[in-house]
Amino acid sequence: MVASYDADEPKNVNEALKSPDKEHWIKAMKEEMDSMKSNHVWDLVDLPPGKKAIANKWVLQIKRKADGIIERHKARLVAKGYTQQ
């Protein structure tokens, strides 16, 4: 498996929100959150005293057609499972 790098892809949310494609990234992140909610991926609950939430981060990717034209902006919210104790 080979991972490809697209120089137009932001490294983090701050870069995405400062980019010319800001609105596309906001839409992609909203779609991901809506999808997680409609698929009951998690339940929002109060954090018990003395417990820490698992950190998360956005993975942002530009999907392109074979000719290089941007097909869509894709955002995935992932848990940083390695922060669990």
Give the count of domains, the chain: 1
Residue 66 reports pLDDT greater than 60: yes
3 state DSSP class of 16: helix
The predicted pLDDT at position 7 comes to: 74
Domain span at residue 34? 25-38+54-85
Residue 65 lies in a domain: yes
What three-state secondary structure class fits 70? strand
3-state secondary structure 27-63: HHHHHHHHHHHHCCCCCCCCCCCCCCCCCEEEEEEEE
pLDDT at 42: 87
Task: Classify the C-alpha dihedral 32-34-39-43 as positive or negative.
Answer: positive
Assigned domain for 15 exists: no
* Span 28-49, pLDDT tens digits: 999 999 999 999 998 889 999 9
Residue 14 contacts residue 25 (beta carbons within 8 Å): no
User: Rounded mean pLDDT of the chain?
Assistant: 90
Using the 8-state DSSP alphabet, how is residue 47 labeled? P
